[in-house]
Amino acid sequence: MVTNLNGKIVFITGASSGIGEACALACAAAGANIIMAARRSEKLQKLAVRIQAEFKAQTLSLQLDITDPVAVSEAFAALPHEWSNIDILINNAGVALTKDHLNETSITDIHTMINTNLNGLIYVTKCVLPNMLDKNNGHIINIGSTAGHIPYAGGSIYCATKAAIIAFSDALKKDLLGTALRVSHISPGMVKTELSIVRFKGDQAKADAVYANTDPLLAVDIAETVLFCITRPAHVNISEITVYPTTQVSPAIVHRRNMS
């Protein structure tokens, strides 16, 4: 039996843009109610209005910085009772903050990437697990990256955080063996989102160049992949999925149309 999302509670980190926003829309369209976490609350409010209007799904917006372990645990402790029974966690929030080599990468950017992509993901997972274990039901989706499988120059920290998510997901699955909980790890290739504009600190030309003359994935492509994972029957765990656009075969090998 395919898992039905009607009335399920899905907690999504980084729901304010890109893949997280697309996951919120896809899950709401499939009947779930969504807890949407991110730092930009105004973006979450707009998304909440859209989800209510288009899908009549319920949402709870949480302004939350997942790099702060105290804030994360307080946010979970303060969840209204009707939102506390989380069925699916989508660990999606993440940042790439530079394409510079390590010697030119600031300590601040290093800390922010590790604290968001890895530590934050772990803090949120730790908060969601007790309830999932109590009811012996739950699904954790970790959004990694092809950068975690194939590291590239200029991505030492970002790639390291994403490689760590592979190990974390695998070990967590082993921790949970014998329970009904599921862990899936999804590695997207190039997706057109705000990731690049954030990476290049607002330099639109550099961000546009990432997607120039090629056909990147769209956020909805990854949301549909997530939806596939979370709607499999209870005995099926999609352990790993890697998704590239047709025009990409590894993080650094992208086919670009000749515009001359």
Does position 190 interact with ligand NAP (CB under 6 A)? The reply is yes
* The pairing of beta strand 191-192 with beta strand 88-91: unpaired
Closest CA to 84 of 23, 29, 140, 130: 130
Which residues in 223-240 are b (16+ Cβ under 10 Å) and which e?
A: bebbbebbbbeeeebbee
Does position 65 interact with ligand NAP (CB under 6 A)? The reply is yes
E-strand ranges in the chain read 9-13, 33-38, 59-63, 88-91, 139-143, 182-188, 191-192, 217-218, 240-243, 248-250, 253-254
When the beta carbons of 43 and 46 are compared against ligand NAP, the nearer one is: 43
Q: Which positions from 202 to 231 touch ligand NAP by CB under 6 A, shown as an x/- string?
A: -----------------x------------
Rounded CA gap, 230 and 2, in Å? 9
244 is catalytic: no
Handedness of CA 1, 236, 162, 191 (dihedral sign): negative
- Catalytic option among 162, 173, 206, 211: 162
Pick the stretch among 103-111, 124-132, 193-201, 228-236 that binds ligand NAP (CB under 6 A).
193-201
Pick the stretch among 75-83, 98-106, 172-180, 188-196 that binds ligand NAP (CB under 6 A).
188-196
Taking CB under 6 A as the criterion, the residue among 9, 32, 38, 47 binding ligand NAP is 38
Does position 94 interact with ligand NAP (CB under 6 A)? The reply is yes
Q: Which positions from 139 to 158 touch ligand NAP by CB under 6 A, shown as an x/- string?
A: ----x-x-------------
Taking CB under 6 A as the criterion, the residue among 191, 207, 227, 254 binding ligand NAP is 191
DSSP 95: -
43 is catalytic: no
To the nearest whole angstrom, how small is the minimum distance from the Cβ of residue 137 to ligand NAP?
Answer: 25
Q: List the end-to-end C-alpha distance of the chain, in Å, as a whole number.
A: 52
- Non-local CB neighbours of 70 within 8 Å, separated by 6+ positions: none
Taking CB under 6 A as the criterion, the residue among 5, 14, 48, 110 binding ligand NAP is 14
Task: Give the CA angle between residues 183, 184, 189 to the nearest 5°.
Answer: 155
Give the number of residues in contact with ligand NAP, rule: CB under 6 A: 31
**The two structure tokens encoding residue 23:** 């996951």
Does position 33 interact with ligand NAP (CB under 6 A)? The reply is no
Which residues are part of the catalytic machinery? 158, 162
Q: Which residues of this chain interact with ligand NAP, rule CB under 6 A?
A: 13-14, 16-20, 38-40, 43, 64-67, 92-95, 116, 120, 143, 145, 188, 190-191, 193-195, 198, 219
